[in-house]
Amino acid sequence: MLCAITLTKAELVHNSKTNSLKVLKDSYTQFRAVGQGFRDDALQEDLTQVQIDVKIKSQSQDLTSQNKGSIPKQPFDLFVFTSTTDYECYIRGITMLDQRLAVECEFLKDSDLSHFNITEFSYDNDKFLNKAKQYQEFFFVIDNTDFPLFTDKSKMLESVHPAIDQNQIFRGRMLEDPHQERQDVLINVEFNTTFAASEEYYTMVFVLASFTCVLLILFGYIVCKYKKHKKMYAVLAEERRKHREELIKKKSEFFKRSLDEIDRLNDDKDERKQSLKDPKPKANIFDY
C-alpha cells in the first residue's frame, strides 16, 4: 500500500513596486524594512514566519523627447544597514562630502553590506521574522554620491574588504578618471513580504501526517488479515459442519441397523419361546 502525503504551503504575499524612481546626481535615497512580531501569537508559537525579497534594478532613460537620445543603465552604490552605528557613520560621511573630508566606516569592509558600481541588486531573507527574531530593521540606501572619500588611495585599499573590486569604488570619485562623471539614476524597486507557515510547523504537520498514514496502513493491514482469517474460518467451519453431519448420518444408520438387529433377535426369541409352550402332537403310528 502506498501512502502519498502532499503539503500545500499557505502563503500571503504583499507586493510593493516603485518604478522610475530618480536618484539625482550627488544625492541618495533610502527605504526601511521593519518587522515587529511581539504580539503575534502564531509567530511566538513558532507556527509562522515572515520572509522578505527585495529587488532593485537600474533602468535606461529615454530622453528623445528632449533631443538628448537615450541614456543606458547607470550604476549606483547600495548599502545595507542592520546596525545603527553603521548607518550613523554613513550619514556623517555624506555630511562631510561638501567639505571633502574622509570618514572611515567599518561597514565598507563587509562586501555583504557594501555593493559598488552595480546596476541591479537582490536580497532575500527567509527568516526575516520568526520565533527567535521577533524584531528586525534594515536600511537599504541607494547612493549616487562620491561616498566614500578617503585621505589617500593606499589607505582605502588597505581598509576595504578584499572581496570588493577596488576599481569599482574609485570610478572617478577621487577625480582619477574625470570621464566617468556620475549621472542621474533611474531605479525600479520591488519589495515582497511573504507571511508563511514556519518550517517547524511543516515538520510537525509532516510528522503527524506520516504517523496518521502509518496508522492507516496498519489499520488496512489488520482489516485485510481479519477478512482473510474470517474467510479461512468460514471454510473450516463449513468443512466441520459437513463432517459433523456425515458422522451423525453414519451414527444414525448404525443405530438403526442395531435396532433392527435387536428387533430381529427379539422376534426369533419370542418364536422359540412360543414353540416351547405349544408342543406339536405326537403322531399315531397306527393311524392310516
For residue range 63-75, what is the model confidence (pLDDT) as tens digits?
A: 777 777 678 889 9
> Smallest Cα–Cα separation from 42: which of 34, 53, 50?
50
DSSP state of 96: T
Amino acid at 277: K
Average pLDDT in the chain: 79
C-alpha distances in angstroms, 55 versus 27, 30, 62, 189, 260? 20, 14, 22, 6, 110
CA atoms within 13 A on the CB side of 11: 18
Using a pLDDT cut of 70, give the percent of the chain over it.
78
Q: pLDDT-derived band of residue 271, with 50, 70 and 90 as boundaries?
A: confident
Q: Where is pLDDT greater, at 142 or 288?
A: 142
Beta sheet of 135-144, edge-to-edge order: 27-36, 135-144, 76-81, 114-118
**In the predicted model, what is the mean pLDDT of residues 22-40?**
86
Cβ neighbors of 226 (< 8 A, separation 6 or more) are none
Q: Looking at the chain, how many residues does it have?
A: 288
**In the predicted model, what is the mean pLDDT of residues 247-265?**
84
Question: Which pTM does this prediction carry?
Answer: 0.61
Among the residues of the chain, which ranges form H helices? 41-44, 84-95, 153-159, 166-170, 199-277
Reply yes or no on whether the pLDDT at 92 is more than 80: yes
Amino acid at 8: T
